[in-house]
Amino acid sequence: MLIKGTKEVSNVYLLKRFDAVILIDPSYNLETILEQIKGYKLLGVLLTHADSDHMHLIGKFDCPIYLHREDYQLFLNDNLNGYKESQIEKSYKNDEIFIRFVNDGDLIPLMDKNIKVIHTPGHTHGSVCYYVDDTLYTGDTLLKDEIGKSNHPHASIGKLRRSIIKIFKLPLKTKVCPGHGEITTLREERYKPHIKAILK
């Protein structure tokens, strides 16, 4: 399920399976999230990266928060992660959050399924995508009609380009659920000029 974001906050995704649920990038619309997870066991919150607009609400949930280790310093540093400029007040203290670090290739269980972690640095050093059921949750690495921004201190255009190449090794039928904007597919994005230039 998608809870559509705004210019200031990311899309939020809920992955439900039987009586369990996992959240991806809970940043917005707490009331709707709580309504949707009522009666479900919340297994965890998956962060695609540690920019503030993807994690505003993580302090509202009593569960592990999954994050790549290379984004932990960004998570701690409000001067870099966006909170200093944000109009939204931080809802948690860093030492109250239980971080469970993930690595490339890790599998996160959701009942009888596994969500695969794919490390895709570039937008941030610890950016990851989550892959399950032919669907890729890409955060700010790949969006409809564009790739993630790489013009800040914790970004790398070279790493981002390599991550895009890595992503496009997945089947083209893969649905892409980005951190901002509309859902797309790898097939739809594959032949756009900016992607063709990277993959050539």
CATH code 3.60.15.10 for 2-199: yes
Residue 143 confidence (pLDDT): 96
Rounded-to-integer distance, Cα 40 and Cα 11, Å: 21
List the single range of 6-10, 27-31, 85-89, 92-96 with lowest mean pLDDT.
Answer: 85-89
Residue range 37-62, pLDDT digits in tens: 999 999 999 999 999 889 989 999 99
Q: Residue 87: what pLDDT?
A: 67
Residue % of the chain over a pLDDT of 90: 76
- Alpha carbon distances (Å) from 105 to 10, 116, 120, 130: 24, 6, 11, 10
Instruction: Give the pLDDT band of residue 152 (cuts 50, 70, 90).
Output: confident
**Is 129 a residue whose pLDDT tops 90?**
yes
* pLDDT digits 0-9 by tens, 159-192: 999 999 999 999 999 999 999 999 999 999 999 9
Q: What is the mean pLDDT of the chain?
A: 93
Domain boundaries, the chain: 2-199
Q: What is the pLDDT of residue 84?
A: 66
Which ranges of the chain does DSSP label H, i.e. alpha helix? 30-37, 72-76, 157-167, 186-190, 193-199
pLDDT at residue 136 tops 90: yes
The two structure tokens encoding residue 32: 């709707």
| 4-33 residue pLDDT tens | 877 677 999 999 999 999 999 998 899 999
With bands split at pLDDT 50, 70 and 90, how would you rate the model's confidence at 99?
Answer: very high
Q: What is the pLDDT of residue 151?
A: 82
Question: Can you tell me the distance from the alpha carbon of 163 to that of 121, in angstroms, rounded to the nearest whole number?
Answer: 6
